[in-house]
Amino acid sequence: MWLLVLFCLLIGLIIGFQMPILLPAMIAKYMSIAVLAALDSVFGGIRAYMEDGFDNVIFTTGFVANTLLAAGLAYLGDKLGVELYLAAVVVFGARIFQNLGIIRRYLLKKY
């Protein structure tokens, strides 16, 4: 299972680095927040898998909802003239570090 995940990650990275994508400056902020939200969902999925509580439907809907909510929050903040994307950065950043800490502790106990 883990070998398949690492193989797919490697293939995705190779394809991603071979396809140059240039984003306009006005979209870059939204994409960075969306990527941060997506990473939060991925690390949450890894954590749930290690705790034997992974559900594909919950992961998929959470992935899409978190990404759209974060990008929408950044867009709403731009329209209101408030830097609301910083709230998403703080929340998703804290959740990523929390999930990584739990994953690390689980791996240290297991191995």
Amino acid at residue number 109: K
Our measurement of the distance from residue 3's CA atom to the centroid of its chain's CA atoms, rounded to an integer in Å, reads 21
pLDDT for the residue numbered 19: 86
| Confidence (pTM) | 0.76
pLDDT for the residue numbered 102: 93
Do 100 and 92 meet the contact criterion of CB atoms below 8 Å apart?
no
Residues 1-58: tens digit of each pLDDT: 667 878 888 998 899 888 877 878 888 888 888 889 888 998 999 999 889 998 989 9
